[in-house]
Structure 1
Amino acid sequence: MSLWLIIFLCLSAGVQAEKSQAILPEKNFDFLANYCLNCHDDEKQEGKINLEDLDFNIQTLQQAEIWQKVLNAINSGDMPPEDKKQPKNVEKADFLESLSNTMVTARKVLSDSGGKITMRRLNRREYNNTLRELLDVQVDANNLPADGAGHFDTEGASQFISSDQIEQYLKAGRIAIKEAFERHANRNKEPFVYRLEIEDQFNPQLDKALANFEKNHAKFQEYFKQVKASSEAPENKKIMEEIIKRNPRVAKTPWRYLPNEAKHLKGAPRSKDFGLKDEAAAIFGEVIYTEDYKYHRQSRDLPLSDTGSYLMIVKGINRIDIKPPRGMPVGKYKLRVRGGAMADAPGFRKFIEVGHPQKRIPVKRFFEGLPFAYMQMTGTPEQAEIQETTIEIFSHSKKEIAIQERQSANWEDLRRKVYFRDRHRTGIGPVPSLWLDWIELEGPLKQAPSPFDKILIKHQDKPNRAREIIKDFGLLVFRGKMYEDNLKELLAHYEYRRSQGDSFEDALVQALSIILASPSFLYLDEPNDKQGPRQLTDRELVIRLAYFLWSAPPDQTLLDLAQSKKLMNPERLSLEVDRMLADPRAKNFVDGFTHQWLDMERLDFFQFDVLHHREFDDNAKKAAREEVYQTILHLIKNNGRLCDLLSSDYLVVDGLMANHYGIDGVYGQEFRKVKLPEGSPRGGLLGMAAINAMGSNGLETSPVERGAWVLRHLINEPPPPAPANVPQISRLEGKVLTTRQRLTAHQEEPQCASCHRKIDPIGFGLENFDATGKWRTKDKYKNKKWTIDSSGKFHKGPAFKDYFEMKKLIADRGDDFARGFIESLIAYSLGRSYAFTDDTMAEDLLAVAKKEDYRINSIIHALVQGREFQQK
């Protein structure tokens, strides 16, 4: 442990800072006196609002509600009334800014817990991670009680559960235990290998379809030839004039519309005379021939089509279903694909994706849910290569999988926006980019025994094995504590189920699922009957530590340390934190904390427009999100600097994200550190696709979203919530303006300017990144094109000429960034909202961060060693 950490321990033992106050600065009294008090003083009190006696020090919810009404009324333009004296725009904007910031402070003051930690339960992530650690299973946690409305899912005060929701946990527990028994039974079985030669599955079907296309087309042509001749006969002249008058399309596209009118013509043939079902079916068949035949024919006539198959988009072979004859038992599988991509295919079309096939009719999506894996095809059809990935089948999963070319999930968008656009351009449709030779599936793969397996193996030959299994499972699930009374009740339940005819395994499922629904498992129990805080016990500390750094239960090493009372030793605790951060389970912490700290749920709010951003599909969103997680994990694994998230000379990417950024030489699914060339806009959060994509609407950039995100997460100056009922600027309707022109106009309105003058310049500084985070120098809107101007000026701060200067200015604010990170880390780790009473702790942690060159691990160490983390 460093000397600075020891100093921190002494500092953190001091008295907490006094609770901060939400006080509207006195300078604002003049604004109220000039424009508000003439109607809302102690005498008139219009609208029953008396601002004269309203305290500038907001200490109660009632006061806060009145001030919020004032803020809303001025923001909306309702106050002051039009017939009253009006403030200048700058006056109004300054007052709104001041009151908005005070209201932000008031929300924190009024929600301050005073450092109290509410008993909390496992959130959905922790529940699933725990089952994974103990049973090697995963359930569908979406059916479990929600995690609450706190900023972090670890906040106990926002977690609620009702008695009827216990049944949800019982059901989830039964599913989990059943799957664990199934996996246990499969562990010693030899995995099967299923091989699918692609051409064997598709070529016979395709050849048959092409033959039917040709045969029906020939029949239709002969049929239509005679119908056309009948329509031109003299006796049908007047009839045709009436038909065309009623339906002009008959004259423009006769083959498509004339057959339906043939019944009105004298001497016209009937479709059934040519072996066609009826007129409607005949026309439909010809439409399909016109739209599909060339596309299907193209894939069959390409080289190597006899030894494999070309994946098509929307029409034809666009999905390969993999259904082994023996099914797919739960477990892990290796999926291997041999194939290659056309050398001239765009990079984003050199990937295949894996998911569960959608079986619903009509088809709205190709997959049931999101794809869960993707592979980059690095070979070519002539020099094919084998790609491999690992997939997993759970009890709640579909027991079959499918692969296809990586593409948008929306079938209709692809068909309408991509297929028909490319057909218009090529005369055929999208050119195939992928050729596959064969697919191989191997599994379920043998796995190391889970803790549950070890219990079953340990007691498999014992006469009282049910009792011993229940006892050991209880100790495992209850994190080292099991009461004799609980054991007796569970054993009695097991014996009752046996007396009712249940098998040994089914009766155990019922008993063990009760354990997984009990409060001793679902809650991180830290009772405290004292008036003030108390020291955690060793067992409580290892549990809190494990769910902080792993989002999972403590392992045996931690439990043994708790049992021996050694973990409270600062040096030993420091060693354990290092061990835990180096463990693969630390990825659970990174994913859970980062997703919520950086508000990354916005990445799932919308689908990206398939015509303009076709490559930014669900796979790209998944990889972009993972880039953020993997970058932070890289810092933790390498004791890296937190400020590298503001600016660095490297990326942590896989093949898909490297392709998105135009970086050559990076292939495959493994994320790795990649050195950036001089002058690259990447390096740090600002250059990441996920961050910029969240600051868009799926089609265009949103400088407001981006600027607000930077203020909130990088500079630690969160803007107030957007005011309600702000009037739109009607004069802009129908005008074609640049992004800067449209947003700058908002600053002319004082109720908008109070926030936009802070937010917009930062958003403009990021305009070189398009909606998906690709770098650009020009933009367009409708028929207007312009060179992007990314210059700007921080509100009451320095100016910058472009993105690179802005990025440097933000990177220079490492203290502000670290402070925001620390406040979020405190809230996440302690299971409660950050409050003003935590300011002293945050300042002490920031001092450690600065002394230790902003190393993330040093901040985590200091937090864990601190008094607050070790107390209840």
Structure 2
Amino acid sequence: MRTWLIVAPSLSLLALLGLSAMPTSGRQTKVSPKALTLEQTAWPFFTENCVGCHNAQTKSGALDLASLRRAGSVTHSRETWESVIRKIQTGEMPPEGSPRPDLAKIKALSLRVEREFDKVDRAAASNPGNVTAHRLNRAEYNNTVRDLLEVNFRPADDFPQDDSGYGFDNIGDVLSLSSSQMEKYVNASEKIARTALFGTDPLQPTLIRHEEAGRKLVTGPLVPARYDATGLNMPNSRHAMHRFPVDGEYLFRFGLNGVRPLGSEAIRLALWVDGKKVQTLDFDPTGSAAFSQDRQDFSGRTQECRFRMTTGDHWVAATIENLYEGLPAEYGGPNPSKRRIEPPVFKPRAGLTEAEIEERRKRFEARLKEKAPTNDVRVSFLEIGGPYAQKQGAANASLRKIFVCGHLHGGHSPDCTEKIVSNLTRRAFRRPVTATEVARFASLVSLAQKQGDTYEEGVCLALQGILVSPHFLFRIERDPQVAKAGTPHLLTQHELASRLSYFLWSTMPDDELRRCADQQLLRKPDVLNTQVRRMLKDPRSHALAENFGGQWLQFRALESAKPDRDRFPDFDDYLRMSMQQETEMFLDSIIRDDRSILTLLHGKYTFLNERLASFYGIPGVVGPAFRKVSLAGTARGGVLTQGSVLTVTSYPNRTSPVLRGKWILDNILDAPPPAPPPGVPNLDVSAVGSAKSLREQLEEHRKNPTCASCHSRMDPLGFGLENFDAIGAWRKKDGEVAIDSSGSLPDGRKFNGPDGLKTVLKTDNDAFVQGLSSKMLTYALGRGLERHDRATVKDISKQVAADDYRFSSMVLEIVSSRPFQMRKGNSIQ
């Protein structure tokens, strides 16, 4: 639990977090906090507003404020001070019915206490903290094995999920190692070593069919968001996430269905892999297909192609590129698919009422049945078979990583084993190794040979031993021999290189980082600056977007999100994948292009494919490939309005202003509200969207005094996003009730909709920067932050603001900070 949160960085943030500006008990008084001592500022305020209940006699809430008059109480009673100030700021105290304190006095008290906190924190800032020996989490293990040996599979995907702490799964304190996990590491080490040295065993080809999803008949009131660009919501393609077990050639078979009129042009099929078109096939609609009057029936017809795939999970799509379904029925050209016409009345969010959409849909479908085919050709299934032409033996890239000498025609010089093992252990352990360590693993090569195995089998055994060593499985930072217990000391150059690489890449240092560490160069500011900028430009920095961003913004949870399929039939695995990729690519662009971190909230561009663009109601995006798209003139912009975030901050069957408001407080402002008290009744969900709006339900909920203080902070922020439904589609109504996306903050400021909400957030960029700094420092260190880190967070935030909020500035300030460059003693040796 964070107990070190900054209490009052600015007045606007205080207002945003709920600092009361209601009618006061007297006129506002100008206070100069610098001229007053803490006792002079605090005690008169407490006497006027608090001591009547919180004194030695009554001790309301088990609190006697006289304890805060003692010298040094800011240090000795820090938690009490923080609790008192927080409750005053949020309006929880004084309680309902008591006169509200003067706003200027609250500000003066908050700033004065904050200065005292800052003084204490800076006195403790010499403590860089201690990081527990850090077991590689699943992502780090997969990436490290990949870069160590150039093997193209993900062994840790079969490991148990990693525990999380402070919002991240790379926290050393929670990354334990059980006996069952150790067994998995042992089994994985054998598979990894044998794959690197001998390749994978040939697999028998298999054939897996990805069927057409069942179609839903929409009944009841029609919701515009349920219609795709044609207005009929009929899928014409197949999409699937498919796991390819090994590198090899695979068969892709398209199953077709539907009819076309005589004279239509050839069907053009396309195979897409991970958003890129890799194959096209033209299928002439003449030949042996069955005919009925003037139509050609494609039911049961198939087309196939082959393509070489790499190991791992890939998103595969089979599409028909030249469709005419949805053209006006009166268009009778010989090749209708050559003209791309979409009836605008069926586009989602076209401004029509539900009744108008229903009437036009019926009229269109009636005419369509009379003058045009109603069932254009579509891909009904996709079969993937293989592997075929599987490569035998180890990959040359893997062998080059292992055999750094010898291995020419089976010959090895006498010192080859030592060189091979030394290279492997040095890279695997991410530090220089001792002769004793090399000899220990080299002896396994000799042992295997004595038992009749080949030299390669001996190296395989040594590699297995290296892969189950604690020095590979853990990132261990050791104390200098001369260091006193508990004394801060600098990390070694190689330890610093590892912190850098696992922070930015979630993997081991590369050759250039190791070279800088070997030459003792990494602490030179110009070298560190160059290396950080190089690493951020490298494609491996995608790990920062995926692992840090995915957990900070919580869009990792999208994988397990299960929106109600009856309420939200548009939501499928393809849309889920598209939402996640949008956010990851958006973060990637900020990282690699070194944009302002404020773009995260206010950027008016994103990355879309046709599926997601159609869902958002943004025209002009065709095909599965993602591309940069301007959001000018739309209500979207920044992560707050992306489908991934909006979905994970909703319930399966409805939106939640509470969840969304809490998400903003926790992840954007790093000021999470406390957990709700036990016994608080839930909303009457059945009434939402019919008899009562969600806003009305929450207003009744806030009548409970226990709930009011927190909900007054959360709910207004969440209501600003209420025009987005539970999967992020824009809407104007929730069932029968018109959406009200206005919000009113406790200080009286009002806003409306997502743009208004972001304008409010923009009034205090420091709050966002400080929150992001603390989150990223937590991730970079792999530990929770303590009070002695608070001054570091403030210094990082201040420098980032001075550097135009550049992303690289935040990273450089973090990796140059005392907590990142140093550690306190007493680690595992």
**Band the TM-score falls in, shorter-chain normalisation:** 0.5 to 0.7
Within-5 A mapping of 1:783-802: 785-796=736-747, 798-802=749-753
Partner Cα distance (2:543, 2:640) in 1: 24
Residue segments in structure 1 that go unaligned for 5+ positions in a row: 1-20, 81-85, 203-290, 293-311, 345-349, 355-370, 407-424
**Paired position in structure 1 for 2:247:** 331
Partner Cα distance (2:505, 2:683) in 1: 52
Distance 1:65 1:145, change over 3 A: farther
The answer to whether residue 807 in structure 2 is matched with residue 856 in structure 1 is: yes
Q: Quick one: which amino acid aligns to residue 604 of structure 2?
A: D
Q: Quick one: which amino acid aligns to residue 454 of structure 1?
A: K
TM-score by length of 2: 0.66
- Bigger helix share: 1
Partner Cα distance (2:172, 2:752) in 1: 46
Using the TM superposition, give the Cα deviation of residue 372 of structure 1 relative to its aligned residue in structure 2, in angstroms. Answer: 9.0
The answer to whether residue 488 in structure 2 is matched with residue 537 in structure 1 is: no
**Paired position in structure 2 for 1:434:** 379
Partner Cα distance (1:63, 1:559) in 2: 43
**Paired position in structure 2 for 1:766:** 721
**Paired position in structure 2 for 1:462:** 411
Using the TM superposition, give the Cα deviation of residue 773 of structure 1 relative to its aligned residue in structure 2, in angstroms. Answer: 0.8
Partner Cα distance (1:561, 1:403) in 2: 44
Using the TM superposition, give the Cα deviation of residue 142 of structure 1 relative to its aligned residue in structure 2, in angstroms. Answer: 4.8
Partner Cα distance (2:659, 2:703) in 1: 19
Asked if structure 1 preserves the Cα contact closer than 8 Å seen for 2:491 and 2:821, the reply is yes
Distance 1:401 1:679, change over 3 A: closer
Distance 1:527 1:662, change over 3 A: same
Using the TM superposition, give the Cα deviation of residue 867 of structure 1 relative to its aligned residue in structure 2, in angstroms. Answer: 4.2
**Paired position in structure 1 for 2:535:** 580
Partner Cα distance (1:389, 1:778) in 2: 47
2:397 pairs with 446, 450, 458, which one? 450
Using the TM superposition, give the Cα deviation of residue 768 of structure 1 relative to its aligned residue in structure 2, in angstroms. Answer: 0.6
1:482 pairs with 416, 430, 433, which one? 433
The answer to whether residue 346 in structure 2 is matched with residue 393 in structure 1 is: no
Using the TM superposition, give the Cα deviation of residue 757 of structure 1 relative to its aligned residue in structure 2, in angstroms. Answer: 0.9
SS in 1 for 2:629: strand
The answer to whether residue 149 in structure 2 is matched with residue 140 in structure 1 is: no
The answer to whether residue 627 in structure 2 is matched with residue 672 in structure 1 is: yes
**Paired position in structure 2 for 1:120:** 133
**Paired position in structure 2 for 1:177:** 193
Partner Cα distance (1:343, 1:673) in 2: 35
SS in 2 for 1:721: coil
Asked if structure 2 preserves the Cα contact closer than 8 Å seen for 1:353 and 1:373, the reply is no
Using the TM superposition, give the Cα deviation of residue 549 of structure 1 relative to its aligned residue in structure 2, in angstroms. Answer: 1.4
**Paired position in structure 2 for 1:565:** 520
Q: Quick one: which amino acid aligns to residue 462 of structure 1?
A: G
Q: Quick one: which amino acid aligns to residue 152 of structure 1?
A: F
Asked if structure 1 preserves the Cα contact closer than 8 Å seen for 2:269 and 2:281, the reply is no
**Paired position in structure 2 for 1:727:** 680
Root-mean-square deviation (Å): 5.4
**Paired position in structure 2 for 1:205:** none
SS in 1 for 2:495: helix
Q: Deviations over 1:119-164 (max 9, x none)?
A: 4322222111101111223203452683453433333233333567
Within-5 A mapping of 1:294-373: 330-331=246-247
**Paired position in structure 1 for 2:653:** 699
Using the TM superposition, give the Cα deviation of residue 775 of structure 1 relative to its aligned residue in structure 2, in angstroms. Answer: 0.9
Residue segments in structure 2 that go unaligned for 5+ positions in a row: 1-37, 108-112, 216-233, 261-267, 286-301, 321-364, 367-373, 824-829
Q: Quick one: which amino acid aligns to residue 693 of structure 1?
A: T
1:161 pairs with 177, 194, 197, which one? 177
SS in 1 for 2:490: coil
SS in 2 for 1:652: strand
Partner Cα distance (1:58, 1:333) in 2: 71
Asked if structure 2 preserves the Cα contact closer than 8 Å seen for 1:54 and 1:63, the reply is no
**Paired position in structure 1 for 2:143:** 129
Asked if structure 1 preserves the Cα contact closer than 8 Å seen for 2:256 and 2:381, the reply is yes
Distance 1:343 1:760, change over 3 A: farther
Asked if structure 1 preserves the Cα contact closer than 8 Å seen for 2:493 and 2:520, the reply is yes
Partner Cα distance (2:522, 2:710) in 1: 49
Using the TM superposition, give the Cα deviation of residue 752 of structure 1 relative to its aligned residue in structure 2, in angstroms. Answer: 0.9
**Paired position in structure 2 for 1:526:** 477
Partner Cα distance (2:389, 2:495) in 1: 40
User: Which of these two proteins has the greater Rg computed from alpha carbons?
Assistant: 1
Distance 1:500 1:382, change over 3 A: same
Partner Cα distance (2:732, 2:762) in 1: 23
- More displaced, 374-383 or 718-727? 374-383
Distance 1:483 1:141, change over 3 A: farther
SS in 2 for 1:609: coil
Within-5 A mapping of 1:46-65: none
Asked if structure 1 preserves the Cα contact closer than 8 Å seen for 2:723 and 2:730, the reply is yes
SS in 1 for 2:503: helix
Using the TM superposition, give the Cα deviation of residue 514 of structure 1 relative to its aligned residue in structure 2, in angstroms. Answer: 1.6
SS in 1 for 2:199: helix
Q: Quick one: which amino acid aligns to residue 552 of structure 1?
A: T
Using the TM superposition, give the Cα deviation of residue 339 of structure 1 relative to its aligned residue in structure 2, in angstroms. Answer: 8.0
Partner Cα distance (1:712, 1:494) in 2: 53
SS in 1 for 2:607: strand
SS in 1 for 2:489: coil
Within-5 A mapping of 1:639-658: 639-658=594-613
SS in 2 for 1:674: strand
Using the TM superposition, give the Cα deviation of residue 483 of structure 1 relative to its aligned residue in structure 2, in angstroms. Answer: 2.1
**Paired position in structure 1 for 2:754:** 803
Distance 1:855 1:474, change over 3 A: same
Within-5 A mapping of 1:547-558: 547-558=502-513
Using the TM superposition, give the Cα deviation of residue 706 of structure 1 relative to its aligned residue in structure 2, in angstroms. Answer: 0.7
Asked if structure 1 preserves the Cα contact closer than 8 Å seen for 2:138 and 2:156, the reply is no
Partner Cα distance (1:617, 1:730) in 2: 28
Partner Cα distance (1:754, 1:160) in 2: 38
Q: Deviations over 1:695-740 (max 9, x none)?
A: 21122111111111122223x1523222221432799986831111
Q: Deviations over 1:526-545 (max 9, x none)?
A: 22334432233322222221
**Paired position in structure 1 for 2:794:** 843
Within-5 A mapping of 1:608-627: 608-627=563-582
Distance 1:648 1:445, change over 3 A: farther
**Paired position in structure 2 for 1:152:** 168
Distance 1:511 1:145, change over 3 A: farther
Distance 1:466 1:330, change over 3 A: farther
The answer to whether residue 825 in structure 2 is matched with residue 871 in structure 1 is: no
Asked if structure 2 preserves the Cα contact closer than 8 Å seen for 1:341 and 1:377, the reply is no
TM-score by length of 1: 0.63
Distance 1:672 1:54, change over 3 A: same
Q: Quick one: which amino acid aligns to residue 158 of structure 1?
A: V
Partner Cα distance (1:740, 1:87) in 2: 22
Using the TM superposition, give the Cα deviation of residue 593 of structure 1 relative to its aligned residue in structure 2, in angstroms. Answer: 0.9
Q: Quick one: which amino acid aligns to residue 481 of structure 1?
A: P
The answer to whether residue 769 in structure 2 is matched with residue 818 in structure 1 is: yes
Distance 1:801 1:178, change over 3 A: same
Distance 1:721 1:498, change over 3 A: farther
**Paired position in structure 2 for 1:687:** 641
SS in 1 for 2:702: helix
Partner Cα distance (2:667, 2:242) in 1: 44
Q: Quick one: which amino acid aligns to residue 708 of structure 1?
A: K
Using the TM superposition, give the Cα deviation of residue 176 of structure 1 relative to its aligned residue in structure 2, in angstroms. Answer: 1.7
SS in 2 for 1:646: helix
Q: What percent identity do the matched residue pairs reach?
A: 27
Asked if structure 2 preserves the Cα contact closer than 8 Å seen for 1:378 and 1:667, the reply is no
Asked if structure 2 preserves the Cα contact closer than 8 Å seen for 1:607 and 1:617, the reply is no
